[in-house]
Structure 1
Amino acid sequence: MTLWNSSRKGGKLFISRVPLNGARRTALEIMASPNKMHGAVEAAFAPVPDCDFLSACQSGQDFAEGRILWRIDRAPGEGRGAWLYVVSPKRPDFTHLCEQMGWPVEGGWETKDYEPFLKKIGERQRWQFRLKANPVRKVFVDKGSRSDKDVIGTIQGHVTVEQQMQWLLDRAEAHGFRILEDPMGNLQFQVGQREKSSFSHAGSRATLTTAVFDGALEVIDREALCHVLRFGMGRAKAFGCGLMTLAPLP
């Protein structure tokens, strides 16, 4: 099977930003379910002739330029407002999403070619970052207060702040960056919006542990970090995890 854009040289990656209206009941219902939100994002991409783009999206298929990643950022000081960020190897059409979850009368969304920004990233550069992730571990030893042999070999979410912060620190170097320190030697990042959600998926209940990391980093391996920006970091990418974004330091 030939996937859309998988063999085309010089393909583009796009980044989009969509304002969401949290005062609308439909918006709240969709945002509350990672599975429904996944479907809403997926619907922004029309089928391409002689290709199975949407099936690839559903299975988490990666393309040459990157994969579909998305994240909802709550907007501080804007009541129930939020922003949906999407990185994709195909230009999206969010008309349906704006009609259901946004402010259609005020215009729609922004989509930009992501490649010029990615080409500017270089080693030793310093950036602000935000990452929503699914920090998890594979269980080898049952440390629970009640013995449960069924937990051995399963994937479980990290639940404490310390565990979640260490999860990111353990992976930073391999993903092309290091967390900066302040003059006192304190690491410049924090974890917030720590949530555990349960939702229907594939006929059963799924549980998702998420955390949002904000901080400052230095690029130590440009290719590795750009791979993160294109393909995401960690698990549960279909459900709004894995998308890292960068911004200039103040």
Structure 2
Amino acid sequence: MHLTRFRVNSARPGARRLLTSHQCLHAAVMSSFPAALPSDKNAPRVLWRLDHHARAEVFLYVVSPTRPDMTHLVEQAGWPSAASNPETPGWQTRPYTPFLERLTEGSCWSFRLTANPIHHIRRKDGEGTKRTAHLTAHHQKQWLLDRQDKSGFRITQKPADQRLLPAGRTHQGHEDHGDRYELVVRDQRSLSFSKGSGGHRNAVRLVTVTFDGHLEVTDPEALRRTLTGGLGKAKAYGCGLMTLAPVR
């Protein structure tokens, strides 16, 4: 496995086109792998995520089973002149497997995850269920908390004397965690685009959010699967990639 970081030159027209179309960006990411054929439904999963640190500081992260060639992305959305220097090719790729193998039970990390928190509802009796996005921070947090054990981690809790908001019950009877967890939800985005071409276009609508927080590893093997296979839906459109960093 490999982890790649690509800095996007947001001043370029090609970059603006990619940043406003997750469908185009997905195609550009997949074009970084010459051996990956669009018709191969059994190809290994490639995960990607955009991190918007500031208007002019946008990074693309990719986790992939093979090393990518992002020359075309540098030409469209990078700094081609700087990339002509072999020491600054325009992206950085590092082997990911050694890091994954060092994960141990009980170790603590900061994490970031962009995801598509959804649930299924039935509007009336006899009707099939419909996939619907969670729109409030409370329900989005609960979506992640419901998946933590199976995914190999546990989101850490703040000491009681550091919590500013009390826990309780919402008007719907669900638990309100207050600020019990080391978890923040930010950068909610509503995406809408067409998938397909010609007369076979389908409208795709997604709500994505970014989670930042701290976690403790409970099952290293399960967490490795989460980090390389993704978490949740809409992985082709920049969701599901969780990355770890040392706790500051």
Instruction: With the length of structure 2 as denominator, give the TM-score of the two structures.
Output: 0.84
> Which residue of the partner structure matches residue 192 of structure 1?
186
State the SS of the aligned residue for 1:191.
strand
- Structure with more of its chain in strand, by fraction: 2
Residue in structure 2 matching 1:98, options 74, 82, 91: 74
After TM superposition, which residue ranges in structure 1, 4 or more long, deviate above 4 angstroms? 147-150
Q: 1:176 to 1:62 in 2, by over 3 A?
A: farther
Which one of the candidate residues 212, 217, 220 is aligned to 1:219? 217
Give the distance between the partners of 2:114 and 2:6, measured in 1 at CA: 17
Which piece of structure 1 moves more, 115-124 or 176-185? Answer: 176-185
Check the 8 A contact 1:134/1:235 in 2, yes or no.
yes
Kept in 2, the 8 Å contact 1:62–1:231? The answer is no
Considering fraction of residues, name the structure with more helix.
Answer: 1
Distance of 1:230 and 1:161 partners within structure 2: 26
| Residues 81-90 or 181-190, more deviating | 181-190
**What letter corresponds to residue 188 of structure 1 in structure 2?**
E
RMSD value, Cα: 1.7
From 31, 37, 43, the counterpart of 1:54: 37
Partners of 2:238 and 2:184 in 1: CA distance = 19
Aligned length: 220
| C-alpha separation in 2, matches of 1:149 and 1:97 | 48
TM-score by length of 1: 0.83
Q: 1:111 to 1:157 in 2, by over 3 A?
A: same
User: Deviation string for 1:157-202 (max 9, x for gaps)?
Assistant: 1111111111001111110111111222620011111111101112
List alignment gaps of at least 5 residues for structure 2: 84-89, 164-179
CA distance in 2, matches of 1:244, 1:56: 27
Q: Could you tell me which runs of 5 or more consecutive residues in structure 1 were left unpaired when the two chains were aligned.
A: 1-12, 48-52
Distance 1:220 1:19 in 2: 33
| Structure 2 letter corresponding to 1:127 | W
Partner of 2:86: none
